[in-house]
């Protein structure tokens, strides 16, 4: 275990309307959320190929941008994030607080009207800069996946040891689908994964559609647009555009001793 992947912390949370308790993995306590556990060794791998700038196209409130900026600050590497913006109270385009947090960690921000434009601009930037590397959405890159799978397997063992039982079911938010794909490989086939798609990608996107074909999965897609905050929020720090949207489904379908992996704050 290292400084950037400390043992998971767990909170017990009562779901009052169902009279049950669930266990929440508090990745909101990590500066870079769950992805922090694998991003630094991933960037160190890329450094061996002489890349010195890392590029990312980010949804407006995505926490991967924070994890990347956090790692870049530690490694002394330039991070450039093409960020989808949102409308502020005055109706002007503005960076979300997560983008501003990434900026406070040293990342250079470039505004984009939407995620599609952010991806296009990021690709064009890399084509003009031979020492820059564009990291895919959700960090869905083979080298990152290797580090991430190991980190998740290690942390899930710690989770089971702390709980003193193997959970029946795990609740996850779905953005790019990377986390769900990995957990399905890491967990026992008997463990149910409840996936809540928060709408980062269209339902027809192959990365989302492929989750439907995984074994022992319940799949839910929120009625809210990704840009809409949820109003049914849990009693702990959770991203209202992302992780917190899982809470509504836990309140409807959760069972006693289920685990919710709260990816970030």
Instruction: Give 208-235 pLDDT, tens digit per residue.
Output: 999 999 999 999 999 999 999 999 999 9
Mean pLDDT, the chain, whole residue set: 96
pTM of the full structure: 0.94
Task: Extract the runs of DSSP E, i.e. beta strands, from the chain.
Answer: 10-15, 20-26, 53-58, 78-84, 86-87, 93-94, 108-112, 132-135, 169-174, 192-197, 217-221, 259-262
The model's confidence at residue 1, banded by pLDDT at 50, 70 and 90, is low
Distance CA 187, CA 79 (A): 33
Contact 257, 168 (CB under 8 A): yes
pLDDT digits (tens, 9 = 90+) for 93-133: 999 999 999 999 999 999 999 999 999 999 999 999 999 99
Q: What pLDDT, on the 0 to 100 scale, is given for residue 2?
A: 78
Full set of structural domains in the chain with CATH? 10-31+142-262 (3.40.50.1100), 36-139 (3.40.50.1100)
Share of the chain above pLDDT 90, in %: 97
pLDDT digits (tens, 9 = 90+) for 21-59: 999 999 999 989 999 999 999 999 999 999 999 999 999
pLDDT digits (tens, 9 = 90+) for 126-172: 999 999 999 999 999 999 999 999 999 999 999 999 999 999 999 99
Quick check: 91 pLDDT over 60? yes
């Amino acid at each position: 275990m290292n400084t950037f992947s400390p043992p998971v912390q767990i909170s017990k949370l009562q779901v009052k309307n169902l009279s049950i308790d669930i266990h929440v993995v508090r990745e909101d306590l990590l500066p870079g959320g769950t992805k922090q556990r694998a991003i630094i060794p991933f960037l160190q791998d890329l450094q061996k190929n002489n890349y010195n700038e890392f590029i990312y196209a980010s949804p407006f409130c995505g926490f991967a941008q924070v994890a990347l900026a956090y790692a870049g600050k530690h490694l002394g590497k330039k991070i450039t994030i093409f960020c989808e913006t949102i409308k502020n109270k005055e109706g002007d385009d503005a960076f979300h607080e997560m983008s501003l947090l990434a900026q406070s960690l040293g990342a250079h921000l470039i505004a984009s009207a939407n995620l599609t434009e952010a991806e296009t601009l990021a690709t064009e930037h890399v084509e003009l800069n031979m020492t820059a590397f564009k990291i895919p959405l959700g960090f869905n890159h083979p080298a990152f996946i290797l580090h991430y799978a190991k980190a998740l397997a290690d942390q899930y063992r710690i989770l089971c040891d702390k709980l003193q039982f193997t959970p029946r079911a795990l609740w996850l938010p779905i953005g790019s689908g990377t986390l769900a794909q990995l957990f399905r490989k890491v967990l026992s086939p008997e463990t149910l994964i409840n996936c809540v798609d928060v709408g980062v990608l269209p339902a027809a996107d192959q990365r989302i559609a492929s989750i439907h074909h995984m074994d022992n999965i319940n799949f839910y897609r929120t009625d809210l647009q990704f840009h809409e905050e949820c109003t049914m929020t849990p009693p702990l720090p959770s991203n209202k555009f992302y992780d917190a949207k899982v809470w509504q489904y836990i309140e409807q379908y959760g069972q006693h001793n289920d685990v919710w992996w709260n990816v970030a704050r």
